[in-house]
Amino acid sequence: MRLAMISEHASPLAALGGVDAGGQNAHVAALAAELARQGHDVRVYTRRDEEDVPETVAVRGFEVVHVPAGPPSALPKDDLLPHMGAFAEWMAADWHASGMPDVAHAHFWMSGLAGVTAGRACDVPVVQTYHALGTVKRRHQGAADSSPEHRTAYERQLGRVVDRVIVQCRDEERELTGMGVPRERMTLVPSGVDLDLFRPDGPAVPRGERPRILTVGRMVERKGYAELIRALALVPDAELVVVGGPPPGRLPDDPYARRLRALAAECGVAHRVSFTGAVPVADVPRWYRSADVLAATPWYEPFGLTPLEAMACGVPVVATAVGGLTDTVVDGVTGDLVPPRDPRALAAVLRRLLADDVRRVSQGAAALDRARRVYGWPTIAGRLADVYAETAHAFADTTDVREAVA
């Protein structure tokens, strides 16, 4: 198949760990690479956000196309909506020039708007993955949520007009159903994990005697780092390593990192907490392998790749029971689930796990087994390719009707 991936803010070429570059970038990059490996022709459309980039970059068997829409400079994703019309128009012209895709797969709601606009103009069916929902973000962030005003209305409408919605977990399916998107329009396919990169064997970052709790992610408040630091005060002897955030050189001046350091000092655990700053994805497995447990403790999480990555390295996961984490982590088997924003409950579970070698080793083994059995990219991309084929087929069946109406 000829496939157009649309990922307006999340380029598969971006360095991960900063404020706006995380799971979606990793997801799009890995999915595109695996689909290309399975013989599909994949072009990923992402907004051009710097002056000096070539229009098209070939990487891992697929092409990244930099779409000129808005200024050629970095913009927060919440400021991109006004540029989606230009994005759609340019992409439609590119489809005319380079060949119509069989299916367009939009990632994030704004990509969906561009996808539907171009898709309608060019008779291309559109598959939608949200990656995150405005309604959940608003519920947790309230006034701090800087999403465009009508995000939730757009998301609801998209769910009704695209040709198929891919949900990544049961919680997302529930949320969308509650918003009025019919369940029969959805297919559940979780994200995958790169099993070649994330594996138990290989180098590990050196460590000392203290039990190591690791957390990995973008350094934003909703990831729950403050709760983790508070919990650490109740887990004697253990150390906490926080991977992610701005590049190491900019870490000392980062306001949020400073607040977290101050909190660690206030809780009397500053000597047991360290921050690495952003780590290149190729080096992240070394950190997982060095850990006794991965703690993923967000307030909410649309999917959450880091628990899967740790599981694929054979590391048990203590996670908050939110969003996608309730699907990936099997409570008491591949790790433990705890309520969100509850440092005491988190500390109790961490203490139990760190004190119990048998529990840790058996959960690590079960985690590895689950990651390999369910979440490998060849399996997940193959399932998505089946969805694309079914969607293209159903769309072709309606060609006569669409032509008659036109």
Q: Where do contacts with ligand UDP occur on this chain (CB under 6 A)? A: 16-17, 22-24, 26, 216-218, 243-244, 278-279, 281, 284, 303-306, 309
Please report how close the Cβ of residue 187 comes to ligand UDP at its closest, in angstroms.
Answer: 20
Instruction: Between 292 and 309, name the residue whose CB sits nearer to ligand UDP.
Output: 309
Give yes or no for a contact between 300 and 322, defined as CB atoms under 8 angstroms apart. Answer: yes
Residue with tokens 């594996």: 199
Please report how close the Cβ of residue 89 comes to ligand UDP at its closest, in angstroms.
Answer: 29
Please report how close the Cβ of residue 278 comes to ligand UDP at its closest, in angstroms.
Answer: 4
Kindly give the pairing relationship between strand 56-59 and strand 62-67: antiparallel
Instruction: Between 305 and 371, name the residue whose CB sits nearer to ligand UDP.
Output: 305
Beta carbons within 10 angstroms of residue 98's beta carbon: 15
Instruction: Between 103 and 296, name the residue whose CB sits nearer to ligand UDP.
Output: 296
Please report how close the Cβ of residue 28 comes to ligand UDP at its closest, in angstroms.
Answer: 11
Instruction: Between 190 and 343, name the residue whose CB sits nearer to ligand UDP.
Output: 190
Instruction: Between 217 and 364, name the residue whose CB sits nearer to ligand UDP.
Output: 217
Please report how close the Cβ of residue 303 comes to ligand UDP at its closest, in angstroms.
Answer: 6
Instruction: Between 216 and 269, name the residue whose CB sits nearer to ligand UDP.
Output: 216
Instruction: Between 26 and 229, name the residue whose CB sits nearer to ligand UDP.
Output: 26
Please report how close the Cβ of residue 284 comes to ligand UDP at its closest, in angstroms.
Answer: 4
- Residue 337 token pair: 């689930």
Q: Reduced to 3 states, what is the DSSP secondary structure of residue 241?
A: strand
Please report how close the Cβ of residue 190 comes to ligand UDP at its closest, in angstroms.
Answer: 11
Helices marked H in 276-317: 284-289, 305-312
Residue with CB nearest ligand UDP? 22
Please report the sign of the dihedral spanned by the C-alpha atoms of residue 324, residue 325, residue 331, residue 337.
Answer: negative
Please give the helix or strand (H or E) that residue 153 lies within, else none: helix 151-161
| Cα–Cα distance, 335 to 323 (Å, whole number) | 16
Beta bridge partners, 198, equal none
Q: CA torsion, points 335, 339, 344, 346, in degrees to nearest 10?
A: 20
Beta carbons within 10 angstroms of residue 79's beta carbon: 12
Give yes or no for a contact between 109 and 134, defined as CB atoms under 8 angstroms apart. Answer: yes
| Cα–Cα distance, 1 to 7 (Å, whole number) | 19
